[in-house]
Each structure stands twice: as C-alpha cells, then as structure tokens.
A and B are shown apart, each in its own frame.
Chain A
Amino acid sequence: MPRATLDRSADRKEAQLSPPRRSTRRADFRARTWVGWGFVAPALLMYAVFVLRPLFLTFEYSLYRWDGIGPSTWVGLGNYGRVFADRDLYGAILNAFELILFFSVIPVGLGLAIAATIRSIAASRLALIARTVVFLPQVIPLVAAGIAWSWLLSSTGLVNQILSAVGLGGVTRAWLGDFSTALPAVGVIGAWVLLGLCTLLLLAGMTKIDPALYEAARIDGASAWREFRSVTVPSLRQEIGVCVTVTVIAALASFDIVYIATQGGPGNTTMVPGLEIYYLAFSQREVGLASALAVVLMVLVLGCVLPIQWLTREES
C-alpha cells in the first residue's frame, strides 16, 4: 500500500513537470478552471450558507423589531439609534475597549519580555519548562479557566489568602463582586489565558531571526536592551501583528470568561457586547436590537483590526 502511494505520487510529479503540449493548452486550462471550481464549491457553499447567509440575516433582522417568533415591525435604523443612545448598550462597548488593555497590551508586552528571556536561556531545560507553563492556560477550556479564577478571586480565595498572609489584609475583597475591581479582575483572567499564545507565537518568530544580526549588534557594542529594541522587535513585526489582531478580537468579542466569572455584574460593570447580544436575543427576546449590536460589534472589530493589519504588514 505505501509503495503504491509512493508510485502514484511519483507519477503525478512527472506529469506536472512535463510541459503541456501547445495545442491542448487552452482546453486544458478551461478544464482545470472548472475542476478548480469543483474543488472550491463545497467550501464556498458552506461559507455562503453558514457565514454569508447568517451575516445578511443578522443585518436584515437589525432593521426590524422582532421577538424571534411573532410578527416583526420594520424600524429602519432605529435599533442602531438605540445602541448608541442606551447607556447600557454603548457602555458594554466601552468596557470591551477597556478590556483591550488586559487582553492585548499586557499579553503582547509581557509576552515579548518572556519570549526574549526564554530565548536567552534557550539551551537549558528551564526554557522548556517555562514554555510549557506559560502555554498551559491556552490548553485549558475557557469555561474551566473562568471557574478556577472565580474561586481564586473570591472573598475567601487564594488571592485574598496570600494578601492576608503578607500583611495586606486591608485590600482583600471579593474581586469579581466589587464595582472598581470587577472589570480589571476579568481582564487579568483574559491576560493569563492569552499570554501563552502570544509568548509562543513570538518565540517561534524569534527563531527565524538571523543570528548574524545579533552578532553584528554585539560587535557594535549594543546593550541587551538596544538589541531587543533594534533587532528583536522590528524583526517580529508580523508576529506582533498577528498577536495584536487575535487578542484585540478576543477582547472586543469576549464572552466565555465574562459569562462564567461575573455574568456582566455587578451593576453592569463587566457587561461586554458579546454577552449583551446574548441576553438581548435569548432572555429579552429583542432579536432586532441584538442583531444591530452584533453588526456594530462586527464593524468595530473590523475597524480595529484592519488598521493593525495595514500597520504591521510586511514592507516589500
């Protein structure tokens, strides 16, 4: 069996390598185009049915007032007006932007530092352990992470126990239930989850950097910091771009962690658009308003991610 496979692949290679005969080239091309479409068709169909269709339906729903079952009323762009007029709704969007600090800035910044550190001790066993430990949160389901962290951050949880043990009993509180700390506490969970992904991506990017650059920098007498700033970071432009894109989307479209840890409370301080859309559509049965918020969220995500892509694209 393996032999047969090998043979066949060898045949194919040969067929590809031999130049096509001039007379049949045109017909060949046309046939190949159709075969190409044939291969793409299943995926395209799935994409149309499961991505494009819901997208257009969402946009359509957003123009109606509808409870999901009964008759709907055309309200034009009225639902969009409500999204920007209702403090609860646009407040959720503002919270999502605050989460970017925790979901993007901290994981990417800290990830760069950790990746650089791990690279400098690349040969030792410690590097392997560090890499595994930092990446571990990425393997744990978000729901499990949310539950574990809500225990850690509870009034009798490990975080408060440690604070009390080092004499900081005065600052202990129910971190997820306090108006001033709930959103940062949720942010910390997100940072913990996304740090591993960023570190690993950046570390992989670092292995690509030509060692000669570092050598040249060292000969020129560059300090470690200068090396990091002038060689490492610019070479990781694309990887940083990917990290920032993925984490910004995670922040703006966050749902699971918030749903598990605080459900948007206390007093809507941790409400995010993803959660609000879910509540609107399934609890309050305002499918139109939920769809409008979803469309706004999508536009916002694109509005944030496209400039990042443009800024970090490879200059050629």
Chain B
Amino acid sequence: MARRVRARAGRPLLVALVTVGTLAVTACSGPGGGSAQATSTPTSFSSAPTCGTAAVTLSGYFETGFPLPKSLTEEFSKQYPNVKWTIREDQFAVITQNAPRVLADDPPDLMRLPQVSELVKDGLLKNLDAYAAVYGWDKWPASQLAQMRIGPGGRPRGEGSLYAMGLNFSMTGVFYNKTLAAQIGLTTPPSTLDELDTALAKAKQAGITPILQFNGGATGGLAFPLQNLMASYGPAGPINDWIFQKPGASIDTPSNRQAVEHLDRWIKAGYFVKDANALDYATMMSRFIAGQGLLMFDGDWESGNLDKQMAGKVGFFLMPPAQSGGKRAAMSAPLTFGISTKAKHADCAAFFLNWVATNPQAREIAVRVGGSHPMGPADAPMPTVTPGTVTASTLEAGAQIGKDNGAMDFIANATGAIYAKSWTPQLQKLVAGQQTPQALLSTVQHDYESQVGS
C-alpha cells in the first residue's frame, strides 16, 4: 500500500522536474540578442567583381506568380553558363513573414525583399555601397535607389547606405476602360482633378461604375487613390519624408486633409464600387477585365497582363494635379532584391544585379516580362515597345515622373504595421461612413508616432 502511494506521488514529481528543467533551460536570459553579427563594413573593390569562370550555384528566394526574376536568371545562365540557380518560391505574404528567419538561418544569395528597415536594423542584409561604387550605381538617377538607402540602425530611410537593389521600378496611376470612356465622351485623359471629377460624375449618371477599387480584408486598396489625391493637392516631398520616418514628419497636413476630404466626397457620391469593403485585389482585376468599371487605381505590373487580356481597350494616365499645369507625382517603387549578410556568393549576386540593369537583353526582359521601367543610367538604351499599348504609356509616364521628380514610396510602407493596423481599417471605416476625414489622418498619425517612437 505504502509503495503504491509513493508510486503515485512520483508522477507529479516527474512532471515538476520536467517543468523546472524546461524553465531552467529557457529562463536564463532574454530571447534573441544574437544580432551581434554586425553588418560587414563596406570594403572597396579594386576591380569589379564577377561570377568568375568556375561552376557556381546561386540560391534564390523569389515571389510566386511573378515570372520576371526567373526569366532573368535563365537568360543570365545562357550568357554565363558556369552559373546555375537553385530557386525557391513563395507568395509575397509568406516571404514577408519569413524574411528575417530565412536571412538569419538559411541565407539565400539573392532574395525578393519586403520592407527593408527592420532587416537592416537586425543586420541581416549586406551593405551594397562598395558594389554601388565599383559598378557606378551611384551615378544613376538618385530617385531610383533612394527607397533602398537606409540610415544607421534602420532609420530614416531614403538616405544612407544602399541595402537592396531593384530589378526594375514600377509606377502606379489610373487605368481606364477605353470603351466605357468613349460612352461618356472621355477621349483624352483628364488634365486636372476637376476634369476627372466631371468624368466620374458622367459615368455615374450613365450607370457605369466609376471606380473599381479593392478595399476588403486586410488590404485597404483605397490607399492608392488617397495617396494620388495627396500628391494632387500637395508636393510629394513631405509624403516621402513621412514614409521614410524623417524626424518630425506628419501625414496630418492641410493638403492631405483636403485629399481625404476629396476621397470622402467620392465615397459619398457613390463613385466607388458598392462592395468595395468586400472586394479583394484579384476580384477587382477580373471585374475590370470584364469591363465592369471605368477606372482602377493600380500599378504597371499589370500592364503586360492588360495588354494581353484587353488589347487596345485599356489606357493609363497619371493622376492629374489639382491645378492645371501642376507637377505630376506617382507611387513608384523598385522591385527590391537583396543579398544576405551571410550569402556565400555575394559578389556573383551583385554582378547579376548590375547585369540586370545594364545588359540590353536583361533590360528588354525587364520591360517585356516585368512590364515596368528598367533600372540603370538615365541614358541607357530603352527597349522598344509597341506604340499604343498600356506598357508604352506606363513607360512614358515613368519618364514624366522622373522629369517632375514626383516619385513617391507607398504610404503603406512607412512602418511594418501601419498598413494593416491603421490605413486599412481606417479606410474601410471611411467607406462605411464610420470615420471622418479629419479623424482618419489624426488616428493614423497617432499610430505612426507610437510605432516610430518605440
């Protein structure tokens, strides 16, 4: 009997031992802290690094559904047969979640990157300054690389060392259905905001959905027209300062308030598709291609797709300014790729990035497959595109933005949490009539300060 009691008592004892053991293992010190792996200080090269002649296999981590990087790697291997690729692909959302861990534990030579500030802060990305110097990237138009420059410790963005590189840079604006536009007498793109308003009103009267825009789930697509309106009412510079986390920057400015009020008027006038708050990106695309709306705020990554699916029936224009003759601005961002601090073949990966921007075939692929403007020097030869296509008009728009110095990063990229936590729910509330334009901006600014200040 006594033994039985003891045997029983042994069970909780063992559990307690296991418990204490696990606690002892874990509770010694705080988690993490292994970031002592300082970013290697930029060295300088006496001659430009290449992939050499020996067989080398680069590892890449790319985004599913975007064929551009793979096409480029195939062409690269054709020109440099000693280079082979091992490529892993994931959806962008997965890459965003995995980026820090993958870069820390299983470092690829070349990786599609989400927002880079945090990765730089943790010392996970290679500083590319030395490559920029030896390949002459710093002589390209500064706006191409600004978004990938980061100050010490991850802030502010927009200046400092280069930590990533683009395969091309995309441009956003307004796509319109030419057939529906002809029905309401819109033959030339509007040149002022007033003209755009008139067109929207006419479409509404004619029973055409004026704007197809996704705003459902966790992705508030009304941020596209909102930022475009911000750039119509005010200069692009202060918006970029806010996105880049420059000290004292605010999104809650008088001109931005005018922009949100304008957006609110569009909502109240019923210009947006009725179920915008339930619409996701893919549904928006399929409805636009099916001809169910006049306008859509989107980016030139869809140019190739639209040229194929609605050949000749779709046009693109940059958001018109509030005042006639005003400067144009657009959200424009490089398709960012980076090299892990621990990459085995960093030199070869950097050589590849330089090749993408400078090799004529690579530039042609960047436009034909990627649909966007290639990176590189201002005087680099531009691939020819069929006139009259959407691709042609988006490339033209890119040149205009370059001239007006109107490239902006996306307001959703200001902090890691600002899009999901602030812009998306706030814009969804605006659509539902549950938020005022003034409170929208002050709430976002409040959230921003609590995230940046921390």
Q: Which residues of A are at the interface with B, using a C-beta cutoff of 8 A? A: 26, 29, 33, 44, 48, 52-53, 56-57, 60-61, 64, 66-74, 88, 154-155, 173-179, 262-268, 279, 282-287
Contacts and interface: CB of A to CB of B under 8 A. Distances in A.
19 contacts: A33-B7, A48-B22, A56-B22, A56-B23, A64-B31, A66-B30, A67-B32, A67-B118, A67-B122, A155-B275, A155-B278, A174-B275, A176-B216, A177-B278, A179-B432, A263-B217, A263-B219, A266-B215, A267-B425
A72 B97 contact: no
B417 A283 contact: yes
B428 interface: yes
Interface in B16-35: 18-19, 22-23, 25-27, 30-35
B96 interface: yes
B216 A265 contact: yes
Counting chain A CB atoms within 10 Å of each CB, which of B22, B218, B417, B426 scores highest?
B218
Contact of B277 (A26, A57, A178): A178
Contacts of A176: 216, 278
Contact of A265 (B7, B101, B274, B425): B425
B434 interface: yes
Nearest to A154: B278
B403 interface: no
Contacts of B97: 282-283
A88 B424 CA distance: 13
A174 B22 contact: no
Contact of A69 (B122, B279, B426): B122
Contacts of A53: 22, 25-26
Contacts of A57: 26, 31
Given A26-B3, A154-B278, A174-B274, A69 B100 contact: yes
A26 B3 CA distance: 9
A33 B5 CA distance: 13
Given A176-B278, A177-B275, A69 B425 contact: no
A52 B425 CA distance: 36
A177 B216 contact: yes
Contacts of A173: 275
Contact of B22 (A52, A72, A177, A178): A52
A179 B434 contact: yes
B124 interface: yes
B331 to A, nearest CB: 21
A285 B154 CA distance: 15
B277 A174 contact: yes
Contacts of A88: 421
A72 B18 contact: no
B275 to A, nearest CB: 3
Given A71-B33, A179-B434, A284-B420, A266 B277 contact: yes
A56 B432 CA distance: 42
Contacts of B434: 179, 267
Nearest to B23: A56
